Structure 1
């Protein structure tokens, strides 16, 4: 056995070669969930039946409207204000939506006074009921709709919603026919509403055309009157302007142009002088910014003062250089000469600043001169424009008068056409057939409802079964153990009562005691099968030390271990059952007296092994735990326990270790590697698969050989009904071989 791996005799199950589905498995699942399936399906079907029986009969009738794309031309030379509908499929779909619109439904409500019908106005029905019981509340019931505009609007919206709920408007194929169907509890009201929608749809078309023509006439009348006044005023302005200006050419334009030409020359000269002055000023400013000493000044910026200072500076520089060659830098005369040179440079800078000030004044004068000349040019140009304005204005007035005259004549002609069209407008649709009062209800349809209810019931029942299987926590059969856990299936230990026709036959007997009394029972046979599966789980090796564990408490671990010990003893094996559950010590309940010494006392040296062993009536030996057996020390990892286990191997054929649940206590993880095989027990249909896989994962990497998983407390009667794929499925067939 490789101590670094989690040994299992088979690999995890794979569905790669399995069929897509097994009909027998599906049947077994439905047999297993038959009660759930029947309950859900019956509940859904009964609900559908009750709904069908209680549903109020409703009647449907329909009217047909045809979109008439043919336009009747009473006056062929006149165009309508609102044109007819084009022969377009999208237009028909649009008209269908118009028939479904809330505005049209609101007009139906107003015309038929549906707001006074309790069927559509629930507040009226409620008010009548209250008034019937409390007449003195007549003036106070439902007054909010009349006093509160918001409440009234909400009530109207609810009424419109109720009206639209019975309406069904659809297009008949790709034709120009629209079917207006209405469904109501009252057949006469259904026909009335269907016809009302069709009639008001046509009325709305006519009103839209009448309103459009009316608005067009009103607008045209107003515009024609306005344009008439504008035309008269424009023509009068043209005449008055001609008289006032004599329409003569401006002969003085030549003088003005000559004046403008001279001013332009002066402006050019002034701008050139300004540019020159600005350039000299910028040069001086740049030299001052660089700290110039006057050597690089141009002729335009030279002055006698600067020339004199420059001469002095040259002489002083020569003096400084001569003294610097002869004397030390700290020589007083040299220091004085350099100070005088610095004073000359300061005077040069001051003179440059004065020159810049003069240049700035000159630049300001140049700018003022340029501005003055530019103003004169602008004034002269204004005079020229005034001289020529008369002819320009005259042409403008004539164009204005002509445009007003053209627009006036056009609108006057259109006004005459629209006035002639009033009274001859026609809708773009007509009612092809009117709705009649139906003689039989269209809803409900019992046969359809029952068929749909049956389908829904079967679907709901199937969905409930599928959901229950998905959410199923436990394991049922051998196939599920090997497929979902990937470990061998060792067998099952049945629930004792499920093996008996009369459960009272085993009353008062614990399963291990029943095993002794009924050695040929199905319960005893299941333990013999489990014994064989465990002992032969390691091919070619002898299994002597067997650790029996589970993932959670309450899975029948101690009962199974003790019963397995009695089964092994009955087969002639020298077997010992060791209680390794330090927290519970559950084997003691199968002993006639409470032990005074046990496993812990043997490990501590307080008692010998022979003193602690208890001889069971089956021939098996039991190494129990006393009530004070729990100790915080590492019992199963100690050398004393290993010596004890070695001694038990020598003295007994089989050593059964009843351990604590893996997920609850850490002791089992320490103990498991010392066993030749570990048997994992899981309670049939109860232990969650996640709990089992979590427990198995705790044994990985500990050198543990897992013999497999056995299911405990299996109900053989239930398993024979729906445990397809498991030996329990055939329990009824081989039950006669047992003496239960």
Structure 2
């Protein structure tokens, strides 16, 4: 079976039929029976889409507008030196590129300190991946990303968040900024607009600064005076040794550094004196020095103590073994005395080291104090020279102020009017948005519905492809090459409980039910067959595997035929499981089919009457499957010839074809064979295999009996066969 053969006919198109097309009613039936699957897939997909939508971080957008000035002012004629913006299309597009440039983005990032914002600085949220942690330390990337890389990444994020476009064919430029924070979105848009306007002014200032060269004659004199005054200050400073560091005299800086070093050295001296004081106190009290920190931290003392402990352990061991007078104990005692002396010597060395450390620290403090005193004496002499230095600095400051004032006045006099006007202005400031532009809940809802429908349709197609059971008359004819005799409705446990019946007796308890009517259809096919292939006394009821309703069908057919006045013999040919025989067992009867075939007893001695109908049953009393082939010999054929004389209908309940070889012999001995297939459960491959077996033996296959059909679900597969009438013509039945 190919994948194509599993697709329902309603989904296929016959390419050879010019009138072929989509089977719309068939598609509707598929949708109706798979409605729950479709709804589940659609709802789940919609739920996933909406869950993702609500989990996404909302993005807000705000827009500012900048307008280029189309007016031109001619208060001062400087057009030969610098030209203003000509507001044509190319110029406006150029200004759009300038606003979207990296240099302007860098200014905005600096102004808003976006390098400290995790939204724009990805290095603040990046974590070292698990793969990089597996690499050797020398192969990992640097723990700290360089400042340049961090800034460039921030600028990349910022430029992605800002979009600059020309507003139609006007002189206005739209600056749209996006951010997770609505206030930040408005700040970004306004910052770009303001930075652009300021940048245009800065560009004008830079250009006009070049024009100031014509004032060289007026400025040069004061510039030279300023240079001479400043040189005098520096020369006097160098001649008198008034060197400075970080805005103060060098001597002052040195005193500050030495005082800081003095504080550290005095702290160290205090610490070491405290340690020495503790040692001296313990010595004065006659206490042991083993408890001081330096002794405890000494690895030499630790090693000697370990040796001492080992000698003690050995001495104790010898005393326990040989007594206190053993000669080896004298040697151990001498070693202990020697070891104790070493420990005392090491402790004395440590104490001496502490005293030496105190002396060294005291000498350092004394030296630092002396150095500070010398520098202070030198600083006194420098302060006297500072008086003349301050005078020279005041002269330099006066020259500097005069020079700056002259330069400023000359610029104001010549270029003030043009410098006061920018080439662009902010038309609309960005406002704080109240609703996000992403995610768009309405669009995502529509997308979720669309994807849900597509997923539902996809799941229906998959379900139809992988639904390998046989469901309709068309399936049976196409897959098995046989006709459908009848479709037997499913008897659910609830229905049986309500009727107070069992599947084996339901045709007797509910003779007007659709279940009983299906077996009347089967009997009618047996009785009213138009050809030899459709008529006969001996009928074998078989199936591919167990659980197909074969035995129940044999019982129901026999009882329906008996109710119609036929003389019916039901023979249990399943000699291994003997399911049918177990329903008609009797302890006082020990003769069955095997004994009759073997000629060990008479037929009348083995027959059992059905107490619910006029049907007669021939059971199997014991398993003789290991005693030879029971059905291939002459005994079974003679048995069938004998019962043909006494009964109108002989029903043979066989074992499954795929499980037992005996079933093939039974089927070949019958006039006709009815193949039972469980609705939607029997795999097509298994049913085909059984059909192939029946085709290989000498028998007449009457058709297929579709058992345990869910009538309600069956209606969704089409209207082929009589099963559709069970729901539409319910008034004809009493179930």
Q: Distance in 1 between matches of 2:13 and 2:561?
A: 34
| Residue 530 of structure 1, CA deviation | 1.8
Tell me, yes or no, if structure 1 residue 510 matches structure 2 residue 511.
Answer: no
Q: Distance in 2 between matches of 1:55 and 1:643?
A: 82
| Residue 465 of structure 1, CA deviation | 1.7
| Residue 586 of structure 1, CA deviation | 0.9
1:118 aligned partner:
118
Compared CA separation, residues 115 and 674, structure 1 to 2 (3 A): farther
Q: Distance in 2 between matches of 1:506 and 1:459?
A: 44
| Residue 181 of structure 1, CA deviation | 5.5
Q: Output aligned runs, 1:529-540, within 5 Å.
A: 529-536=521-528, 539-540=531-532
Q: Output aligned runs, 1:432-451, within 5 Å.
A: 436-437=430-431, 439-443=433-437, 444-451=439-446
Q: TM-score with structure 2 length normalisation?
A: 0.53
Tell me if structure 1 keeps the 8 A contact 2:64–2:189.
Answer: yes
1:415 aligned partner:
none
| Residue 557 of structure 1, CA deviation | 0.9
Q: Output aligned runs, 1:578-597, within 5 Å.
A: 578-591=571-584, 593=586, 596-597=590-591
Tell me if structure 1 keeps the 8 A contact 2:574–2:653.
Answer: yes
1:607 aligned partner:
601
1:41 aligned partner:
42
Runs of 5+ in structure 1 lacking a partner? 1-12, 67-73, 77-86, 128-144, 205-429
**Secondary structure in 2 aligned to 1:547?**
strand
Q: Distance in 1 between matches of 2:152 and 2:551?
A: 73
**Secondary structure in 2 aligned to 1:481?**
helix
Q: Output aligned runs, 1:285-296, within 5 Å.
A: none
Tell me, yes or no, if structure 1 residue 573 matches structure 2 residue 556.
Answer: no
Q: Distance in 2 between matches of 1:546 and 1:179?
A: 89
**Secondary structure in 2 aligned to 1:45?**
helix
Q: Output aligned runs, 1:693-732, within 5 Å.
A: 693-720=688-715, 724-732=719-727
Tell me if structure 2 keeps the 8 A contact 1:491–1:533.
Answer: no
Tell me, yes or no, if structure 1 residue 692 matches structure 2 residue 687.
Answer: yes
1:560 aligned partner:
553
| Residue 121 of structure 1, CA deviation | 5.4
| Residue 33 of structure 1, CA deviation | 1.4
* Equivalent in 542, 555, 579 of residue 549 of structure 1: 542
Q: Distance in 2 between matches of 1:52 and 1:169?
A: 27
Q: Distance in 1 between matches of 2:597 and 2:146?
A: 88
Q: Distance in 1 between matches of 2:727 and 2:446?
A: 38
**Secondary structure in 1 aligned to 2:447?**
helix
| Residue 634 of structure 1, CA deviation | 2.5
| Residue 728 of structure 1, CA deviation | 3.0
Q: Distance in 1 between matches of 2:701 and 2:511?
A: 28
Tell me if structure 2 keeps the 8 A contact 1:61–1:435.
Answer: no
Q: Distance in 1 between matches of 2:153 and 2:574?
A: 72
Deviation digits for residues 511-549 of structure 1, max 9, x if unmatched? 232222332222211110122234445624522222211
1:210 aligned partner:
none
Tell me if structure 1 keeps the 8 A contact 2:470–2:476.
Answer: yes
Tell me if structure 2 keeps the 8 A contact 1:31–1:722.
Answer: no
2:299 aligned partner:
none
Compared CA separation, residues 730 and 50, structure 1 to 2 (3 A): farther
Compared CA separation, residues 109 and 599, structure 1 to 2 (3 A): farther
Q: How many residues align?
A: 475
Q: Distance in 2 between matches of 1:460 and 1:151?
A: 48
Q: Distance in 2 between matches of 1:693 and 1:201?
A: 80
Q: Distance in 1 between matches of 2:726 and 2:578?
A: 34
Tell me if structure 1 keeps the 8 A contact 2:469–2:681.
Answer: yes
**Secondary structure in 2 aligned to 1:669?**
helix
| Residue 169 of structure 1, CA deviation | 8.5
Compared CA separation, residues 482 and 123, structure 1 to 2 (3 A): same
Compared CA separation, residues 587 and 50, structure 1 to 2 (3 A): same
Compared CA separation, residues 588 and 19, structure 1 to 2 (3 A): farther
1:459 aligned partner:
454
| Residue 457 of structure 1, CA deviation | 1.9
Q: Distance in 2 between matches of 1:447 and 1:488?
A: 53
| Residue 490 of structure 1, CA deviation | 1.0
Structure number with the bigger relative contact order (C-alpha 8 A, sep ≥ 6) is 1
Tell me, yes or no, if structure 1 residue 29 matches structure 2 residue 34.
Answer: no
| Residue 151 of structure 1, CA deviation | 10
Deviation digits for residues 698-729 of structure 1, max 9, x if unmatched? 33332332222221112234435665444333
Compared CA separation, residues 14 and 116, structure 1 to 2 (3 A): closer
1:396 aligned partner:
none
Compared CA separation, residues 452 and 14, structure 1 to 2 (3 A): closer
Tell me if structure 2 keeps the 8 A contact 1:497–1:506.
Answer: no
Q: Output aligned runs, 1:338-377, within 5 Å.
A: none
Deviation digits for residues 609-643 of structure 1, max 9, x if unmatched? 22222222322222222242332622222232222
1:623 aligned partner:
618
Q: Over the residues paired in the alignment, what is the CA RMSD in angstroms?
A: 5.1
Runs of 5+ in structure 2 lacking a partner? 1-11, 68-77, 81-89, 128-139, 200-423
Radius of gyration: which is bigger? 1
| Residue 126 of structure 1, CA deviation | 10
Q: Distance in 2 between matches of 1:546 and 1:601?
A: 22
Compared CA separation, residues 111 and 722, structure 1 to 2 (3 A): farther
**Secondary structure in 2 aligned to 1:727?**
coil
Compared CA separation, residues 653 and 172, structure 1 to 2 (3 A): farther
Q: Distance in 2 between matches of 1:194 and 1:638?
A: 100
| Residue 599 of structure 1, CA deviation | 1.9
Q: Distance in 2 between matches of 1:713 and 1:675?
A: 25
Q: Output aligned runs, 1:269-308, within 5 Å.
A: none
Compared CA separation, residues 123 and 734, structure 1 to 2 (3 A): same
